[in-house]
Each structure stands twice: as structure tokens, then as C-alpha cells.
Amino acid sequence: VTPQAQPGNPRPRLFRLPADEALINRMGFNNHGAQALATRLGELRQRPIPLGISIGKAKVTPPEQAVSDYVAALHLLFDHADYIAINVSSPNTPGLRTLHDRPQLDSLLTALQHENHLLATSRGRKPRPRHTAAKVIKQQDPPAKPYRDEPIPDHHRKARKKKNERP
């Protein structure tokens, strides 16, 4: 989810490739915005399972203002998630992949950890562990079972080897 609503890519944007046993997702991070999600989640009485929320920058946000988008989304959704995943790999979001560069990723993680610390302590909670870009980059495979406050590796490709079909 992004801080502000965005429509995503034009339809069609999800393609099944049965012969390749594959799906192609070109959704474009469509969502109603972090505030709308926070409102809906606030109306739930209880969640039967842990809830993770993936946050990212809006398509219209310039890359140099990306950190403020992530911090805004974290601030709005902090009380509603069991964990928050930081999405820095949406191929349809202009400039997002610049956050893969070590200095930008360090800056983003530092800002989010600072906000996390402020939010946690203001609610009487213990702040979650700090992560550096080095730890996120080093984590290549998901752990055998997910642990809270650990990086969630994910891979988005801009291209694929075409086998049998194309969308």
C-alpha cells in the first residue's frame, strides 16, 4: 500500500500462462491508500491470523522524496500490522529501484527505524531490532519459518524467458 491512493496499471494486468505454469502480475501497486486501509483495519474486532502489510512509495512521488512516503505509510499503519514489509522492487514505480543502491537503502532503513522507535516507545512497546542495508542485501533466501523483524527477500523481474506463451 502507498500513502496515497493510486489506480495501478491499465487492464488487463494479470496474465495466466498455463503452459509455463506461471503468472505475470502487472498490477502496478493499485490500492486505496494507507489511510483507507488503516480505517478498514481499525474496524475489525479481531484478526484470526497475523497480518503483514507491504508499503511502498506512490508512483507520482519523486525518487528523492521516497523516504517520506514510506515513513507516512508506516506511521498510518503501525498499529494495524503484525509486520510491515518494505517494498523497494516494484518495476512499474519510477525511480524505485534506485533504493537498491546501498546509500539510499541505508537512508530509507534508518528513517524507518527511527519512526519505528518513536512509534513503539510512544505506545509503551519495545522497539523492534534495527537492520542495515548490508543485512537486507545479505539475506538471499527466506528463513525456514518467518520471523518478525527480519528482511523478507522478494524478487521482481522486468523480463522473463518466454517458453510457450505470452500475455
Give me the catalytic one of 54, 89, 90, 122. 90
Which H helix or E strand runs over 135?
helix 133-138
Instruction: Check if 90 is active-site.
Output: yes
Beta bridge partners of 53: 84
Instruction: Please give the full DSSP string across 15-76, using - where no structure is assigned.
Output: EEEGGGTEEEE---S-BS-HHHHHHHHHT-S--SS--EEEE---TTS-GGGHHHHHHHHHHH
As annotated, the active-site residues are: 90
